[in-house]
Amino acid sequence: MMTKYSRSIFALVLLFTLCHSCKQAPKNVASETLGAAINTNILYAKGFTVEKLASGITVITISSPWPNAESAFTYALVPKNLAASLTLNNQEYDAVVATPVERIVVTSTTHIPALEALGVIDRLVGFPSTAFISSKKAREHIEEGLIKELGNNETINTEMTISLNPEVVIGFGINNQNKAYKTLIRSKVPVVYNGDWTEETPLGKAEWIKFFATFFNKEKKADSIFKTIEAEYKNTKMLATNARSKPTVLTGGLYKDVWYVSGGKSWMAQFLKDAQTDYLWKDTPETGSISLSVESVLDKGQKAQFWLNPSMHTSYSEMATANRHYQQFDAYKNKNIFSNTIAKGPSGGLLFYELAPQRPDLVLKDLIHIFHPTLLPEHELYFFKPLD
pLDDT of residue 303: 98
Query: Average per-residue pLDDT in the chain?
Result: 90
Q: Which domains does the chain have, with CATH numbers?
A: 27-227 (3.40.50.1980), 245-386 (3.40.50.1980)
> Per-residue pLDDT tens for 96-145?
999 999 999 999 999 999 999 999 999 999 999 999 999 999 999 999 99
Rg of the chain over Cα atoms, rounded to whole angstroms, equals 22
Give mean pLDDT, residues 354-371: 98
> What are the strands, taking DSSP E only, across 185-237?
191-193
What's the chain's length in residues? 388
d(CA 81, CA 90): 18
Give mean pLDDT, residues 381-388: 97
Range with the poorest average pLDDT among 20-34, 69-83, 164-178:
20-34
Whether 384 and 306 have beta carbons less than 8 Å apart is answered as no
Give mean pLDDT, residues 272-285: 98
Q: How many CB atoms lie within 10 A of CB 130?
A: 20
pLDDT of residue 20: 36
pLDDT of residue 19: 38
d(CA 367, CA 380): 11
d(CA 271, CA 361): 10
Res 201 pLDDT > 70: yes
> Per-residue pLDDT tens for 70-97?
899 999 999 999 877 776 766 789 999 9
Range with the poorest average pLDDT among 86-95, 215-224, 248-257:
86-95
Whether 96 and 190 have beta carbons less than 8 Å apart is answered as yes
Distance separating the N- and C-terminal Cα atoms of the chain: 17
DSSP states of 227-254: HHHHHHHHHHHHHHTT-S---EEEE-EE
Res 17 pLDDT > 80: no
> Per-residue pLDDT tens for 292-313?
999 999 999 999 999 999 999 9
> What are the strands, taking DSSP E only, across the chain?
37-39, 48-53, 58-62, 73-79, 95-99, 104-106, 124-127, 148-149, 168-171, 191-193, 248-251, 253-255, 258-262, 278-279, 289-292, 306-308, 337-339, 385-386
The vertex-69 CA angle with 12 and 218, nearest 5°, equals 75
